[in-house]
Amino acid sequence: MYYTIRFLILITLSYIPDQAYAKKGPKKLYPILQNYVHDLYPDYRSISEERRRIIEELASYIRGNIQTGVKTELLFVGTNNSTRSQFSYVWARTAAYYYGVNNLSFFSGGISPSEIDTQTIMALEDAGFIAYKINQTGETTYEIKYSYNLNPITIRSKTYNTFGQPTINFASIVVCANADINLPVIKGTNFRTSLHYFDPKAYQGTNEVMDQYKEKCREAALEMFYLFYLLKEN
């Protein structure tokens, strides 16, 4: 059954253009961001089979909640909550809005929070987001805007279990291997999966560093948009 569903998804991606779903229409994003997102669609097929399976299992979890009227809470977990978990969080929220998937809440956190990397913000801006740096109670915080007349996405580095994070019956998506190893139990989660991304910090001090941040940003965008593409019909 799984492979039958996989085959049908691949056929759909191969032959049905994204515009075919535009009668209800994807939500409008800022122009540069809209173009960036539109260019992701042909590359959904490039996601590896292993990662595609992980994403489709997460989609099944969310779909089950949608069908039973249960609100879904997604927590993206990294080590420092400075890059990969922030990319995933921002792109998931944007994709849910774009594809009109509702009744979800999104969170991100880390084991040992640190300042959000400057390159993280630069990569998001390169994709078409508009970012503002603000200060809240002494913490560096950014507001990330993605569409007109909408409240921005607010991001700051924090622990996965700090006040305000989900505490029961939520899905945790661990986005780095180090966090997976050092956090064997996430209390309260009823669905846990791993979707690791390579840490672009490894390229700090080299000429390649910004390209690596942009690459991880696009990888997170591609996979989060694929996730919500699967869910949009619900």
Res 114 pLDDT > 70: yes
Report the pLDDT averaged over residues 1-16: 43
Under the banding of pLDDT at 50, 70 and 90, the label for residue 26 is confident
- Given a contact cutoff of 8 angstroms between Cβ atoms, the answer to whether 10 and 45 are in contact is yes
pLDDT digits (tens, 9 = 90+) for 124-173: 999 999 999 997 667 789 999 999 999 999 999 999 999 999 999 999 99
5 vs 211 pLDDT, higher one: 211
Res 7 pLDDT > 70: no
Which token pair is 232?
């949009």
The Cα–Cα gap between 204 and 210 comes to 9
Under the banding of pLDDT at 50, 70 and 90, the label for residue 2 is very low
Under the banding of pLDDT at 50, 70 and 90, the label for residue 20 is very low
Any idea which fold 2-231 has?
Rossmann fold (3.40.50)
Res 15 pLDDT > 50: no
Burial class (CB in 10 A: 0-12, 13-18, 19+), 148: exposed
Report the pLDDT averaged over residues 27-46: 95
Q: Give percent of the chain with pLDDT exceeding 70.
A: 88
Tell which residue, 97, 95, 96, 105, has the closest CA to residue 36: 95
Report the pLDDT averaged over residues 97-109: 96
The Cα–Cα gap between 19 and 136 comes to 41
pLDDT digits (tens, 9 = 90+) for 39-86: 999 999 999 999 999 999 999 999 999 999 999 999 999 999 999 999
Tell which residue, 177, 173, 208, 207, has the closest CA to residue 191: 173
Under the banding of pLDDT at 50, 70 and 90, the label for residue 14 is very low
pLDDT digits (tens, 9 = 90+) for 174-192: 999 999 999 999 999 999 9
Res 22 pLDDT > 50: no
| Domain map (residue ranges) of the chain | 2-231
Under the banding of pLDDT at 50, 70 and 90, the label for residue 219 is very high
